[in-house]
């Protein structure tokens, strides 16, 4: 567990770097600079790598988050930094960002952000202000929140139609949500209702409805194209020959209602 001054043995450092390499890749940003893309699961720690060619114990390094207004993430200057009295750190990162003090001698200016949230997603730079010319390091941090879709029958009619709802709450990055039939065909559905999650900044809620008129196993698929991630959930809709919902489905709905009533009585 990381504390205010993050230290590690050689073996621990190897494990941290290995974890970083498994979740990061590097690409160009179109300006000739390399950008490391790091994908981290929500609530996990993120290690942002940065290094210098010599000891930085008596040097200076500065981590910023590049937004409309740059945010101060972590600043180190000859032993003084945000975790030992220096002021100026953005509120978003207070008490959550630490450096590897025992690795400064080898030029390691990496930092760790603890318990990441979707709001931490963005572009970061590590710079050495005393070095000329500037040699910044660029990191794109993506916090992945991929909740499993919740699927349910919200309305069933006697004419053999059922209205299905798929709900995805708190996903980041924003997902594309689709309904598929049992054969894997994408079904035409209503336009999804997409809203920003009020509890978690930079995450989204998506609701997608669809009308179906035949018995089948339907799948709701949530795809986050930016991070090549996909998750789904299935529901079986039984419609009998007369065009109504089968006894099994009706019994399921009745059971839910009875359960709710019993729950209210107990309360």
The DSSP secondary structure of 84-107, one letter per residue, reads TT-----GGGTTTEEEBGGGGGGT
In the chain, % of residues over pLDDT 70: 77
pLDDT at residue 156, rounded to an integer: 79
Q: State the DSSP code for 257.
A: H
CA distance from start to end of the chain: 41
Higher local confidence (pLDDT), 11 or 169: 169
Show the DSSP H helices in the chain as ranges.
10-23, 247-266
pLDDT tops 50 at residue 205: yes
> Which of 93-102, 109-118, 163-172, 239-248 comes out lowest in average pLDDT?
239-248
- Intrachain domains 10-144 and 150-266 with the same fold: yes
Cβ distance 166 to 208 under 8 Å? yes
Q: Mind listing the pLDDT tens digit for each residue in 18-41? A: 344 444 555 554 444 689 999 999
Q: How confident is the model at residue 85 (pLDDT cuts 50, 70, 90)?
A: confident
C-beta neighbour count of 201 within 10 angstroms = 14
| CA pair distance 228, 179, nearest whole angstrom | 18
Q: Mind listing the pLDDT tens digit for each residue in 102-134? A: 999 999 999 999 999 999 999 999 999 998 887
Domains of the chain by residue range: 10-144, 150-266
pLDDT at residue 207, rounded to an integer: 97
The CATH architecture one would assign to domain 150-266 is: Sandwich (2.60)
Cβ distance 171 to 222 under 8 Å? yes
Concatenated DSSP letters of 16-45: HHHHHHHHEEEEE-SSS-EEEEEEEETTS-
What average pLDDT does the structure give for the chain?
A: 83
Q: What pTM, to 2 d.p., does this model score? A: 0.75
> What residues form DSSP beta bridges with 65?
71, 124
C-beta neighbour count of 240 within 10 angstroms = 14
The CATH architecture one would assign to domain 10-144 is: Sandwich (2.60)
Higher local confidence (pLDDT), 248 or 70: 70
pLDDT tops 50 at residue 9: no
Residue length of the chain:
267
């Amino acid at each position: 567990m990381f504390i205010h001054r993050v230290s590690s043995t050689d073996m621990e450092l190897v494990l941290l770097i290995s974890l970083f390499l498994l979740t990061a890749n590097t690409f160009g940003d179109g300006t000739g600079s390399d950008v490391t893309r790091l994908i981290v699961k929500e609530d996990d720690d993120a290690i942002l790598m940065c290094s210098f060619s010599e000891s930085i114990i008596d040097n200076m390094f500065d981590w910023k988050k590049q937004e409309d207004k740059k945010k101060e993430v972590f600043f180190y200057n000859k032993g003084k930094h945000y975790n030992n009295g220096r002021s100026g750190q953005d509120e978003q990162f207070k008490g959550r960002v630490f450096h590897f003090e025992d690795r400064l001698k080898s030029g390691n200016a990496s930092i760790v952000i603890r318990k990441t949230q979707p709001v931490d997603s963005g572009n970061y730079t590590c710079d050495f202000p005393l070095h000329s010319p500037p040699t910044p390091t660029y990191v794109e941090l993506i916090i992945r929140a991929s909740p499993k879709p919740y699927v349910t029958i919200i309305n069933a009619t006697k004419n053999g139609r059922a209205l299905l709802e798929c709900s995805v709450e708190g996903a980041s990055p924003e997902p594309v949500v689709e309904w598929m039939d049992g054969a894997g065909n994408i079904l035409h559905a209503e336009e999804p209702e997409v809203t920003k999650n009020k509890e978690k900044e930079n995450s989204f809620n998506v609701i997608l409805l669809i009308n179906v008129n035949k018995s089948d196993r339907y799948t709701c698929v949530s795809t986050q194209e930016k991070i090549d991630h996909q998750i789904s959930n299935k529901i079986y809709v039984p419609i009998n020959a007369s065009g109504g919902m089968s006894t099994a489905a009706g019994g399921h709905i009745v059971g839910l209602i009875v359960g709710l009533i019993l729950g209210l009585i107990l309360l």
